[in-house]
Chains A and B, each alone.
Chain A
């Protein structure tokens, strides 16, 4: 039923033919691939979301300090800023930023997270989907559905491009997470499967070419802040798609292009810590 090489178009057509949300089609795919019953898969996703929520809370409430000293509790700092009423825009927006930092910092400090799609980019999906689900009073099942849509988008990207910074740069990690979150968010907020596709295109286009340049080779700087980029971009792209804006190019075309760009990135820009900000000499205290 499912071809070797998956396209987003394939899932999109099925969702449109059957008049169901994309997550139904992705869930069918997962049942076929994993040979696990629907209910088990649903519960596995639920427990992943629980872990994500715990990492958000942990990073916001306790300063996360990494062994290298590169991460110093910035999520917690930002929570204080929000609490004192300083948010630039709506505090909800600051909450998304702080949550993305929180999860990424917990990861850097060897706390428990859910790789989504990778550990380096683990802050994007929880900060966008969980935070907005709470705010919009979305019920848990709809949130779980949105995560299946996000994961399904990840499958397509994995098969047609890459999800790994070592293979495709940060566009493949944080960029993919951003596209996954944008698509999941569109569905969660009632957008159509076509709008999910537009959101994916917007999100990946915006990060096209983003390099992977981890300082000291550690998943700390720029990674934590890049998660914020991924989250904020996801929200903006979902909102553009929901407002009716359409991408000129299909999600598949953009995904493939991201893959091509990734393969052309010189090795210095693919997780080797030999390029980009990883080459700036560190101040003495580190």
Chain B
């Protein structure tokens, strides 16, 4: 945490965790989907469902889904604008288990993609993304991040890292999450800088890649 996180972010009120953090979670989900969302199902956990309404949590989540940042003053009208855009959304309360009180699970569908993401707003507008499509992950949305889902195959990590190195980008953190039931891996690669979009194709061209997504930081600007 830095001084400009203590004096910041610039945001629309009323609560950094219920509003700014929620917006960033929505934004993360939108970027993860990689296309316009057609339908969204939000499962609100703990304090997100108990006091979320009064804090504008649903508005902020929708705003994020529409690609707005936490400082966007349209947030108070997010529901109206989402309705107008034809987004089909639903909010319900759900106990997600022993997780942070400000948590949400979002199921998103776009034209060809769908994704399920669980995340918590952990205070001061910071977020923690802890599950993507059933894989336990650990991301905070700060760095540009590559997500690669692929079979558990030797050498793949090396090939992917060399593609990243060729793009002159440094890796800040890289983790491989395994699903023992499906034999699939999910790689999360946090980068120091945003790589060119062509990196998605380069990775996709490796054999056996199921999915590649590039998510830019949800903290840009402020």
Contacts and interface: CB of A to CB of B under 8 A. Distances in A.
B20 interface: yes
B12 interface: yes
Interface stretch (A28-36, A89-97, A226-234): A28-36
Interface stretch (A185-193, A216-224, A245-253): A216-224
The binding surface of chain A is classed by DSSP as: helix
Contact of B56 (A110, A115, A158, A180): A110
Nearest to A120: B15
B3 A51 contact: no
Interface stretch (B47-55, B148-156, B159-167, B208-216): B47-55
Contacts of A9: none
Interface residues of B, number: 33
Given A112-B71, A119-B13, A119-B15, A151 B123 contact: no
B161 to A, nearest CB: 22
Nearest to A167: B123
Interface residues of A, number: 50
Contacts of A216: 51, 54
Interface in A116-130: 116-120, 122, 125
A164 interface: yes
Given A113-B13, A120-B15, A166-B123, A48 B3 contact: no
A219 B55 contact: yes
B3 A107 contact: no
Nearest to A223: B14
A116 B6 contact: yes
Contacts of B73: 111-112
B6 A68 contact: no
Nearest to B73: A112
B110 interface: no
Interface in A73-110: 106-110
B61 interface: no
Interface of A: 26-27, 29-30, 33-34, 41, 44-45, 47-48, 51, 67-68, 106-120, 122, 125, 147-148, 150-152, 154-155, 158, 163-164, 166-167, 180, 216-220, 273
B1 A158 contact: yes
A113 B124 contact: no
Interface string B1-41: 11110111111111111011000000000000000000000
B15 A147 contact: no
B51 A217 contact: yes
B7 A108 contact: no
B16 A119 contact: yes
B13 A107 contact: yes
Contacts of B113: none
Given A30-B2, A110-B76, A116 B7 contact: yes
Interface string B196-222: 000000000000000000000000001
A163 B124 contact: yes
